[in-house]
Each structure stands twice: as C-alpha cells, then as structure tokens.
Amino acid sequence: PQTIHLKDYTPFGFEAESVELTFRLAPTATRVLSKIRFLPKEGGDGRFFLHGEDLTLISARIDGAPVTPRLVEGGLEAQVPAEPFIWEAEVEISPATNTALEGLYMSPLAREGEAPGPGAMYCTQCEAEGFRKITFYPDRPDVMSVFTVRIEGDAPVMLSNGNPVERGDGFAVWHDPWRKPAYLFALVAGDLRAHPGSFTTMSGKEVALNIWVRPGPDEDKCAFGMEALKRSMTWDEEVYGREYDLDVFNIVAVDDFNMGAMENKGLNVFNSSCVLASPETSTDMNFERIEAIIAHEYFHNWTGNRITCRDWFQLCLKEGLTVFRDAQFTADMRSAPVKRISDVIALRARQFREDNGPLAHPVRPESFVEINNFYTATVYEKGAELIGMLKTLVGDAAYAKALDLYFERHDGDAATIEDWLKVFEDVTGRDLAQFKRWYAQAGTPRLSVTEDFKDGTYTLHFKQETPPTPGQPHKAPFVIPIAVGLLNPNGDEVVPTRVLEMTQAEQSFSFDGLPSKPVPSILRDFSAPVILERASDNTERAFLLAHDTDPFNKWEAGRALAKDVLCRMVSEGATPDGAYLDAALAVLRDDGLDPAFRALALRLPSEDDIAQTLFGAGITPDPVEIHTARETLSQALAQHAADTLPRIYAAMTVEGPYRPEAEDAGKRDLQGTVLGLLSRIDGGAQAAAQYDAAGNMTQQLAALSCLLMIDKGEPELARFYEQWKDDRLVIDKWFGMQALQAPPARAAAVTDALTRHPDFDFRNPNRFRATLGSFAANAAGFHAADGAGYRLLADWLIRLDPLNPQTTARMTTSFETWKRYDADRQALIEGELRRILNTDGLSRDTTEMVSRILG
Ligand code: B3K
Ligand code: ZN
C-alpha cells in the first residue's frame, strides 16, 4: 500500500464549480448520475484524475459526447479540454451488500444472501474518503463545490444536505448553497419519523429542526437530543457569535455506524447510541455524552464545514478545535471542574497510552497509509489540549479576537494549521514557532520539578524531556504553560494561580517574600498535557487533597495518593495505606464538596493506568496482580468506611422524577460509588434491593454492576435480558457489562459464550464493540496468562476485517501496549499480531495498524 506524505501536497488542477447528482435507489443496483462543471486552473498540470472505488462505470461523457476514461488504481483518468467542461458519469453501486459502512449503505444490515428488511434505510458515511465509493470524484477536502441532489425511490423520507427544493411522487430534490468538500455529503432515505423542533437564530431566522428515527419506540427517545441541539445553537451564538446558516437542520439516528456521529452539512448522521435517550434506557453518562456529541457535531458547522481542512493531515484543525469547543460547552452546562477532571482521566487513559506506545504520532501527522486510522485520541483530545494551552498563553481576550479573525479570514476556505496559528500571531504579535512544535513532535513530555527555599524566596526548577517516538528520536523543547499556586503550611493560599511560561529544556522560576516554605500546587487545571514528576510524599498529597483551592489539583492529589499506594501494593507487596484510607474517608464525609467531585475522588485509578505507571517506573506490570491489589484496596476502604456508607447512601437519594441534570446525576454517581463499597460488606443486599426498586437505567445498571463485581447477579442478568431484549441499545449494555466485569479467570470463556448468543451480530459495530471492546478493557481477563484472551480477540478481528476494515483496525489498538508486559505475554501477543498480519487479503486499514503496533 501507498504512503501519503504531507510534504507532497499539491492542489487539484481543476475547480469543481457545481455538482448535480441523481440517485436511483435500489438495494443492490443503485444508479448514481453525476454532472459536474469543471474549470481548469491556471498553472494546473491538466491531469484529470477522479477517485473511485467499488464502482461499476456505466457511461461517461464530456460536454455531452461519450468518452471512455482509463480505469486506473483507485479511480479513473480522462483526456479533458483546456476550457471549462461538463463531466457526466453514471455508475452502479450496491448499498445492500456494503458492510464496511462507508459510502452508501443500508441499515440494519441484511442477513447474508437475503434482501434488506422492510424497515431498512439508506444512509451514507463519507468522511474521510467514502464519497469515492458513491461516484467518481476528486475526493479531497480542498475541492469544494455547490451540490444539488435529486433522490429517486419509494422511501417516504428522502434527505440530503442543504435546503429542500422540491418533493414529488417518488423523488426529492435538495440544494446546498454552501460550497463543501465531498466528505460532508450525505443522503438518507427510508421510512422515518421526525421529532420536530425549531430555533430562531440571533438575526431572527427560523430554522426547522428534526431528529429522524425509525417508527416505533425510538420516537420517544428524541426529546433530550432536541433540547441539547437548541442549547448548542444558543451557546455557539452567545460564546462564539456563530449563527446557523440553512433553513433546516436534520439529525438522523442509524443503528449501524462505525463511530459516534458525523457532521454532514445540514444533515448530521448519528450512531443511535449517541442521540437516543430516555431515563428508563439511558444512564446519566449516556445523557452527558449525547449532549456533548450533539454539540460537537453542531459546532462543526463553523469549525469544520464553513472552514474545512486543506488536506487530511490538518484533521486536528477541525477536530481539536471542535473537541475544545464542546468541552467548553459541557463545562458551561454542567460543572467545569468535574468536566476537566473527567477529560484528563480520559486523556491519560487513551492519549497518553497512545503517545507512549508504538502508535505515537504527532497531532498533525506527516504521513499515513489509511487516514481513517488517524481519527485518534492524539488528533482529537491532544489536539484540544493544544487549543487550551494556546488560550492560556495568549489570554481569553486575545483568544476571542483570534477566533473572530479566523472566522472572518477563512470562512469558505480549506485551511491549514499554519493559517490557524497565523491569526493568533497577527492578533497578539507573538511568534508561535516554538508553540508549533506541539503539532509536529509526538510523545508526552515528562516535566520534572525540584524546589528550594532560601531567605523568603521559593524556587521551582523545571526540566522537560520528551522520550523518542516512532521516527522521532530527538525532540526540541516545547513551550509549556505551567499554572502554579502556593499554599502555606496552614493550608491557606499565599500565591494565587500564576502561569509560568517554560520555553527552555531547563528553567527556574522564583517567588519572593514568603515567610515560610510553601506547598506548591503545580500544573493547576492540568494546564499542559505532560507527565509531572515530583518527589512528594503521601502526607503532602493528603494535605493538598484537603486544602488545594484548585479543584483539579485537589482531585489530582487524591489520585496520586491512591496510585502510589496501589503501585506499592503491587511492586512491594505493601498493605493498604492508612493515610490513603483516612483521606478517602474524609472526602466521602465532606458534605461541602460536590457529590460528583467526591465520586471522582473516590474512584481508584484504572488497572491500565497502574500498568502504565509501573511500566514507566521500570517495573513489568502483572495485570492479575494489579487487579488483585485494586480489589484489596477497595475492600479495605469499604471496611474503613463501613459506618459512614449507609448515611451517605441515603443522603444521595434523589427525590422526584428523573432529571438528567448534573446536580442529580452527581448524587446518583456518588450513591453508585457508595453502593459499590457497601456491596463488598453486605454481600450485595443493598444492590439487590436497588436493582428491584430502580426506576431508571442509571440505578438499575449501577446495581447490576455492583452485583457482578462481587460475582453475583446471575438472576438479575437474566431478568435484565427479559426486560430489555427488544431494545438493542440496552442489550449492548447487557453484553458489555458481562464481558467487562467477568472475573479474570473466566473472562475469555464468558466473552466467547456471549459471541455465540443469538443476539450477537458481529457485523453491527455497537454490538461488536460492546462485547469484544469491553472484553479487551477487562485488563486482567484480556491479559490472562494462557493467552486465551489474545486469541479470542484476534479470531474476531480476522473475521470482521473483510466485512468492516475500519472497526477492525480501530480495535487492534487493544494490543498497542504489548511491549509493557513480560516475555511470555509479549510472545503470545506477537504471535496473534503476526497471525492477523498474515491473513490473506487483510485490509489496508488493519495492515497499517498491525504493522505499526509490531514496530
Ligand atoms: N468527523 C467525524 C469522524 C469521521 C471519522 C471517519 N473515520 C465525527 C466527528 O469527529 O465529529
Ligand atoms: Zn469532530
């Protein structure tokens, strides 16, 4: 397979002035007619190449005269005039047999060899390079055009981008006035029902909003998504001054989808798990995630659609910025500290893991084989961290000005990271050359710090070092904003938060006029995505947990304490540390703290996090020992807090009807945490009672999870299935929790049995991820010493790859940490990776991923 390089970028030689598409829908023989007006560009090389994949070319014409283009690898070439011309083509495609869920496909997927069911809908996914599976086209984001789409078929609802123009018997016509790249194209057709809404924009324009679902129970699960959409629209007007720009905004829920959702212009397509919600079937976490994803896709209308990317190397231009914006939105809607802490937990779990393994790559990669493999935590989440650092460095006012300038200067453009940084340079007069290294150098910087105190002056000495990553042995220093505050020994803040700007490999910062040696609170609000290394002890950590005024660092102190205790339990056979148990109990009892914060502070670091930390400290982690240590510490905390648990459990009861709001959700979260501890001492009595009484999915699932945790819950699992067997999103949870929570020694067998369940359709990405993805997240089970876990996952990846390369490739990342483990486990994993790689006809997607993981 061919490697594409950023440095090879060249513009396309033609302008695509307008695109007219006609779809004649038929499950296995859809005809797509295209009519495109191309203008040769000044200085272009005249080479006319159109991408195309899995297309049957029926006919082609240039200016009305039939032509026979040359079919080449990945597309076609034709001789074209030096003047503007009209290209026409007719192709045939087969949506009903498209299991890759890229291009035009049908959902639910038809059983093999059968026709799609009567409820099946047509649906598209084009980002990144799926449009070339629909028709021949210059399928690259810098080719933007105005699309008119005519859909012919018998579906009651037929949608595309933009505004509706005409609707008649058996056809619908849509026109999108905004120039857009092909990856934002979308078409949906089927028997769908709308949950309608409307929004009046800041300039008084009415926008018709719809969430489209299949007829039936889903119709009652749209209200929350609709409200979240309206709140997103208001927020983007108020905070970024961005107004919506079409007469309609449509969202469609689809069951078969490779990711969360897609921001197609005016026609967002959502994985049904990321838009449908009801109190009975969705957890608080589901509600929060749905709200965030709806906001994210909506925000893309300006950061992604109105201003798009020049090429796919610039992906973080739209994704990092849009993740940053949706995080700001969630912080405003809910609790800012809780959102920040949750995001950092996720960043460390996914991005630090990626950045410290064989798949490490810069936020702006320099080469790829398959771009779908680069929709990563690094591009998205680290990309968002870079925006946050930039905002910290230039300040809020300059950030706002720079964004205004960005929208003004680049509206309608396919832009680059250089364009993005330039608006900040122009607004602030700052040189951002060093900052740009964050986009180019991979790896998580280690920031170590030592201190001294003399004559009232307190000095922090920082040193930064970024380990080598694939293809990048040496790194130049980054500019790192380090937010610092100082506390005196009584716990009062003596120096409020100040941002230190570190630019050198080693650098010191002093604070004078201090009566006594302070306790530093460093990297407040997690002001940079680095690993902070500082010799500290558990007394100081407990002190910060009790006194730090920065909520993030307050939580961080508790987490560092727990991690230190767990690591010593694993590596030195230490027993649960009293300092930790006392500190945790104090947090639990502190009614002055937000319940959601208390829940976060009581959650132990994940097993994977501990494995990563041990490995970083030069210790080979044993997943089973880590699991045991974590269980032991939880058990000790349960006993230590035994007298307090019933009181807190009762105090966190939420009265009245279910509301997904942060305040109620926080109480339920803490109550669930307490229930977990209680279950370790009451044999599951309270959890069983909660299960029976639960009136919402949050509490029902929390209770079931507590029972599974203590290896009980067999009857509840059966009842759960009976109750929910007709709701596929709830049944995903049923599959997921069994695979995730199975005791390590039985996890592979339990998961294997789940894959034989009649409801396991491995071609549905949600079900596949719920089962195999959850299993791989069951660290001790997945890493069972006999290798059964590795084999099970590899078997299923090999089976899924020919049908759905994208989801297969994504899930190979379960193996990305293999070099952390002992020689036996490494050999077992390497064996499975090689078995996957040697599979005949392995997709380009999976080949690239497995090769990179093997290194
Ligand atoms: N832009 C899409 C992701 C497309 C993934 C293609 N493999 C969703 C999002 O980030 O909003
Ligand atoms: Zn996005």
CA of 351 to the centre of ligand 1 (A): 17
| Spatial distance between the Cα atoms of 668 and 674, rounded to a whole number of angstroms | 10
What CATH architecture applies to the domain 308-440? Orthogonal Bundle (1.10)
- Ligand 1: which atom is nearest the Cα of residue 300? 11
State the pLDDT at residue 425.
Answer: 99
Nearest ligand (C-alpha, residue 260): 1
Ligand 1, atom 8, lies closest to the CA of: 262
CB atoms within 5 A of ion ligand 2 belong to 319, 322
Ligand 1, atom 9, lies closest to the CA of: 262
Q: Provide the 3-class DSSP secondary structure of residue 779.
A: helix
- Ligand 1: which atom is nearest the Cα of residue 319? 10
DSSP character at residue 477: P
Closest CA relative to residue 136, chosen from 42, 25, 62: 62
Q: What value of ipTM does the predicted structure carry?
A: 0.99
- Ligand 1: which atom is nearest the Cα of residue 304? 1
Ligand 1, atom 10, lies closest to the CA of: 319
CA of 262 to the centre of ligand 2 (A): 7
Q: Helices marked H in 379-521 — which ranges?
A: 383-394, 396-410, 417-428, 437-440
| Spatial distance between the Cα atoms of 19 and 70, rounded to a whole number of angstroms | 22
Fold assignment, 4-191: Immunoglobulin-like (2.60.40)
Paired residues of 484 in beta bridges? 498, 522
443 φ, ψ to 5°? Answer: 100, 150
Q: How distant is the alpha carbon of residue 602 from its chain centre?
A: 24
Q: Provide the 3-class DSSP secondary structure of residue 137.
A: strand
Q: Which residues contact ligand 1 via a Cβ below 6 A?
A: 127-128, 259, 261-263, 296-297, 300, 319, 372, 375
Residues of the chain below pLDDT 70: none
CATH of domain 725-855: 1.25.50.10
Q: Provide the 3-class DSSP secondary structure of residue 762.
A: coil
What is the domain partition of the chain in residue ranges? 4-191, 308-440, 446-528, 725-855
Taking a C-beta distance cutoff of 8 angstroms, is the pair 717, 739 a contact? no
Contacts of 604 (CB under 8 A, 6+ apart): 562, 566, 630, 633, 634
State the pLDDT at residue 259.
Answer: 98
The answer to whether 4-191 and 446-528 have equal CATH topology is yes
Taking a C-beta distance cutoff of 8 angstroms, is the pair 594, 555 a contact? no
What CATH architecture applies to the domain 446-528? Sandwich (2.60)
Q: Choose which residue among 375, 804, 844 to substitute to test ligand 1 binding: the one with the highest number of ligand atoms within 8 A of its C-beta.
A: 375
Ligand 1, atom 1, lies closest to the CA of: 262
Residue of 129, 297, 381, 816 marked catalytic:
297
State the pLDDT at residue 113.
Answer: 85
CA of 184 to the centre of ligand 2 (A): 12
pLDDT digits (tens, 9 = 90+) for 675-698: 999 999 999 999 999 999 999 999
Three-state SS for 14-82 is EEEEEEEEEEECCCCCEEEEEEEEEEECCCCCCCEEEECCCCEEEEEEECCEECCCEEECCEEEECCCC
CA of 213 to the centre of ligand 2 (A): 22
Instruction: Give pTM, 2 decimals.
Output: 0.99
Taking a C-beta distance cutoff of 8 angstroms, is the pair 691, 723 a contact? no
- Ligand 1: which atom is nearest the Cα of residue 261? 8
Ligand 1, atom 2, lies closest to the CA of: 262
CA of 183 to the centre of ligand 2 (A): 13
State the pLDDT at residue 112.
Answer: 84
Ligand 1, atom 4, lies closest to the CA of: 127
Annotated active-site residue 297? The verdict is yes
State the pLDDT at residue 455.
Answer: 97
CA of 381 to the centre of ligand 2 (A): 11
